[in-house]
Structure formats: structure tokens, C-alpha cells
């Protein structure tokens, strides 16, 4: 199965099974995408990891 990247419209080959919360990387632009839903398959740009400064 393939999905288009919402950032660059590149094609991502989906692995056999994906789970909600799984992170995938677009091979064209390098954007991290998060699997939001598996049925139907829905991806969104993964949130940036923010430093917590030890809080």
C-alpha cells in the first residue's frame, strides 16, 4: 500500500502492518509523519519534540 506525503506529495511505501501512533519518515522530504488512524488510514505531520528543561 502507498500513501502520499501531505507536505511534498512524495510516495510512502507502507510497511505490512502499521499501528496508531507509529512514526514514518517521508523518503523525499524527510518529514516525520504519525499514523493517526489505521481504518481508514490517516497520517498527520508528527509534532516537534520539545525540550522539557528538566521540568
Q: Mean pLDDT by 10-residue block, N- to C-terminus, for the chain (55 residues)? A: 90 87 93 91 84 65
Side-by-side strand order, sheet with 32-38:
23-25, 32-38, 41-45
Asked, for residue 39, whether it belongs to a domain, the answer is: yes
Kindly state whether residue 52 falls inside one of the protein's structural domains.
no
User: Which residues 6+ apart lie within 8 Å of 12 measured at CB?
Assistant: 2, 3, 4, 5, 24, 26, 27, 33
Q: CA 21: distance to chain centroid?
A: 9
| CATH for 33 | 2.20.28.160
pTM assigned to the model = 0.76
Which residue range(s) make up the domain with 21?
Answer: 2-45
pLDDT at 2: 86
Amino acid at each position: 500500500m502507498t500513501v502520499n506525503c501531505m507536505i511534498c506529495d512524495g510516495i510512502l511505501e507502507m510497511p505490512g502492518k502499521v499501528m496508531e501512533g507509529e512514526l514514518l519518515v517521508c523518503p523525499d522530504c524527510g518529514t516525520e509523519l504519525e499514523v493517526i488512524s489505521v481504518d481508514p488510514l490517516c497520517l498527520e505531520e508528527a509534532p516537534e519534540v520539545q525540550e522539557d528543561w528538566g521540568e
